[in-house]
Amino acid sequence: MTEARTESSEWLIYRGAGEPHDGMDRLPPPPPWRDFASRETAGPGADGSQNRRLGAHRHLAELHRPGAEELEMINAALYLRRPLLVTGSPGAGKSTLAHSVAYELGLGNVLKWSVVSRSTLQDGLYHYDAIARLQDVQIAAQGGFTSAAGGGAGSPGAVEGIGSYIRLGPLGTALLPSDMPRVLLIDELDKSDIDLPNDLLNVLEEGEFAIPELERVADRLPDGEAEVLTADGAKVRVRDGRVRCRAFPFVVLTSNGERDFPAPLMRRCIHLELGRPDHKRLATFVRAHLGDEAARRGDDLITHFLERSRSELLASDQLLNAIYLTDAAAPASRDRLADLLIQRLDRPR
Ligand SMILES: Nc1ncnc2c1ncn2[C@@H]1O[C@H](COP(=O)(O)OP(=O)(O)OP(=O)(O)O)[C@@H](O)[C@H]1O
Ligand SMILES: [Mg+2]
């Protein structure tokens, strides 16, 4: 983007001129963490989120090296087959940790469950679309059904087709039997309803769950099996209406510490508190996403960011945005623009 470095307001695409123009032709490619087109070139089986989260330059030497405690706690969770509860301030790298582990250990795409206040255990496990099934049965009864959405075995109402109306959620998919563990990110668990952490306990303890809609009809299914859809869009066979893991998934629960979790959950998790990233760590984030040159040019912004972080709540994403954008903007607007982008997330004390 150095070539794009311009004086004055040249970098502005939208000018508020009130007249249409072809400024969009000059819009540079998106920052790597907002490059959704890269999903198409991510390669077989990859969803592109690793590049967006870990940076396309992550192969550069001397990138992020987790501290000793961080490494130990991650490995403890791996060895003990326990969920890892990661707490820390915004932008500390909690969510990205799951991607780092999946990438380094070749565990495939991360299954992500973004928790909101309405999330229930059921959302994480599976969804049964009873209404769609009913509609298909009605259409078939009216003679309007041509292709058997019911799974190719007779009418849509036939028991054999029931699996087509079931889609496993991220947690349900992570618990499918496999030799290697899947990585599951249960993101921002502290945003959940008060019951969810407790509801999760049992499933995480047992490593299995039932799908009553399938259990009920299992004796009428060929080999007791139904074909259902996973959270990543694959088709898998579920036997006797139960999903039972073989390798317990590597589960990362994240929390900004907005509330405390019940003791029974804490007891069953390995807890890692991520500190605020220091200069070295922030520089590695920048290098991973934007390369060496950009990290060098943005070094003063990292120092400024860290100074402000002593009294203000800031997130490393804001720093990445600022370094990326100020690289394209005129030097005269650089500091002002950085301050505009790095806004404190807490209230002034
Ligand atoms: N190991 C890493 N390598 C490269 N970039 C990283 C790494 N860890 C974190 N980052 C970058 O730092 C930024 C913040 O990371 P992340 O989103 O994981 O933080 P978080 O703690 O989950 O924040 P929040 O609480 O706001 O969800 C992201 O832009 C991410 O790409
Ligand atoms: Mg996060």
* Domain range annotation of the chain: 1-17+25-45+277-349, 99-273
What's the Cα-to-Cα distance from 60 to each of 143, 241, 285, rounded to whole Å? 61, 46, 11
What phi and psi values does residue 271 have, to the nearest 5 degrees? -105, 125
Write down how long the chain is. Answer: 349
Average pLDDT over residues 247-275: 92
Average pLDDT over residues 290-295: 89
| Nearest CA, atom 3, ligand 1 | 54
Q: Does 100 contact ligand 1 (Cβ within 6 A)?
A: yes
pLDDT, greater one: 258 or 334: 334
Does residue 321 register a pLDDT over 90? yes
pLDDT per residue over 135-170, tens digit each? Answer: 888 888 887 655 444 444 455 557 778 888 999 999
Q: Does 91 contact ligand 1 (Cβ within 6 A)?
A: yes
Q: Does 256 contact ligand 1 (Cβ within 6 A)?
A: yes
Average pLDDT over residues 318-341: 85
Average pLDDT over residues 287-309: 92
pLDDT the model gives residue 211: 96
pLDDT the model gives residue 216: 92
Name 5's Cβ contacts closer than 8 Å, sequence gap at least 6.
327, 328, 330, 331
Does residue 58 register a pLDDT over 70? no
pLDDT per residue over 117-126, tens digit each? Answer: 999 999 999 9
Spatial separation of the C-alpha atoms in residues 194 and 200, rounded to whole Å: 11
Residue tagged 């969510």 (tokens): 95
| Nearest CA, atom 23, ligand 1 | 91
Does residue 206 register a pLDDT over 50? yes
Q: Which helix (H) or strand (E) holds 265?
A: helix 263-268
What's the pLDDT band for 319 if we cut at 50, 70, 90?
A: very high
Stated pTM of the model: 0.85
pLDDT the model gives residue 7: 54
pLDDT the model gives residue 349: 55
Q: What percentage of the chain carries pLDDT values higher than 70?
A: 88
pLDDT, greater one: 247 or 17: 247
Q: Does 96 contact ligand 1 (Cβ within 6 A)?
A: yes
Read off the DSSP letter of residue 21: -
pLDDT the model gives residue 3: 44
- For the record, the structure tokens of 112 come out as 């992500």
